[in-house]
Amino acid sequence: MATLVVHGGSGAPPEAEWQPRQAAVEGAREAGWAAMGGGALEAVLAAVRRLEDEPWLNAGFGAVLNQDQQPELDAAVMEGGQLRAGAVGAVKDVRHPVDLARAVMEDGRHVLIVGAGASAFAREKNIETVDPEFFIAEHRLHPRAPEQDTVGAVARDDSGRLAVAVSTGGMSGKWPGRLGDSPVPGAGFYADDRLGAVCSTGHGEGFLRLVLAYRVAEQMGLGGAPGQVADWALEELKQRTGLEGGFIAIDSGGRPGAAFNTRFMAWAYRVG
Ligand code: ASP
């Protein structure tokens, strides 16, 4: 049995935006599902790559800007068989940051590369780059309220392999150089075939302080149901830090789950 869960970020967008955000997530779920034949890793990458093209969502093309009105994008990918992971942070000029995260993972020397070094890595690996103006122009055209709408996907293929991918512009108006949880293993994402796959969204500082993605995976490994474990982690987030967010998760047997304690989180899943 294969399972794919996709989300378009937790937050409180105006109600008029709920439907297009949900439609974007469902489109990405189908794009991911179409790639499932290549395994869980291909499925999550295809889903997140599609979400990076959505103007509604805070990743790739739709990414929010920092306090200097500059894009600084973060992304990550992890597979749960050999625990390979790749992540990039604060990149200004990469069209699909999740492609760069994949290149970091496949290269294998490092897990997390940020800033100018990440851009140089993109050029070395022939990953598509753009003028940062590409991201800025979109915001002049469609200014948005500060929102937390990271995108992500978790999958289990029918061989039992797990994977997660995540991509974000981070928190709108953030300090230049700030990294949130999204590119940090154990905080923003985690995948281990023995435990489960998890993707976080929300106020990244809280997920970093509580190492929440790993803790959700660990609880699933002990038998917890994904949705219930995610609810527990959000309660922990609220109680310990006063912050909010959401999760999508799959356990090692392929059970899907999601939870959020913000007003809204677009998410969708498919099992088959
Ligand atoms: N977690 C992301 C960050 O803090 C934001 C989000 O999920 O929307 O950068």
As averages over each run of 10 residues, the pLDDT of the chain (272 residues) reads: 96 90 96 98 98 88 88 97 98 97 98 98 97 79 65 98 96 94 98 98 96 98 98 98 97 98 96 97
Cβ–ligand 1 distance for 32 under 6 Å, the answer no
pLDDT at 51: 95
Please check whether residue 120 is in contact with residue 137, taking contact to mean a CB–CB distance below 8 angstroms.
no
Tokens describing residue 209: 């302080």
pLDDT at 136: 83
Indicate the pairing of strand 84-91 with strand 73-79: antiparallel
Catalytic pick from 150, 168, 241, 262?
150
Beta strand extents in 101-215 (DSSP E only): 112-114, 151-156, 162-168, 189-192, 196-202
195 is in an annotated binding site: no
How many other C-beta atoms can be found within 10 angstroms of the C-beta atom of residue 89?
Answer: 26
pLDDT at 63: 86
Cβ–ligand 1 distance for 172 under 6 Å, the answer no
Element (H, E) at 18: helix 18-34
Cβ–ligand 1 distance for 180 under 6 Å, the answer yes
- 241 given a catalytic annotation: no
CA distance 245 to 233: 10
205 burial (CB, 10 Å; 0-12 / 13-18 / 19+) is middle
Domains and CATH numbers, the chain: 3-271 (3.60.20.30)
7 is in an annotated binding site: no
Atom 8, ligand 1: residue with shortest CA distance: 148
- Dihedrals φ, ψ of 15, to 5°? -60, -30
pLDDT at 133: 86
CA distance 198 to 230: 9
CA distance 124 to 43: 25
Please check whether residue 51 is in contact with residue 28, taking contact to mean a CB–CB distance below 8 angstroms.
yes
pLDDT at 142: 67
pLDDT at 149: 76
Element (H, E) at 195: none
- 17: helix, strand or coil: helix
CA distance 118 to 94: 9
DSSP letters for 65-131: B-TTS-B-EEEEEEETTTTEEEEEEEESSBS-HHHHHHHHHHH-S-SEEEHHHHHHHHHHTT--B--
State which ligand 1 atom lies nearest to the alpha carbon of 11.
8
How many Cα atoms within 13 Å fall on the side-chain side of residue 235? 6
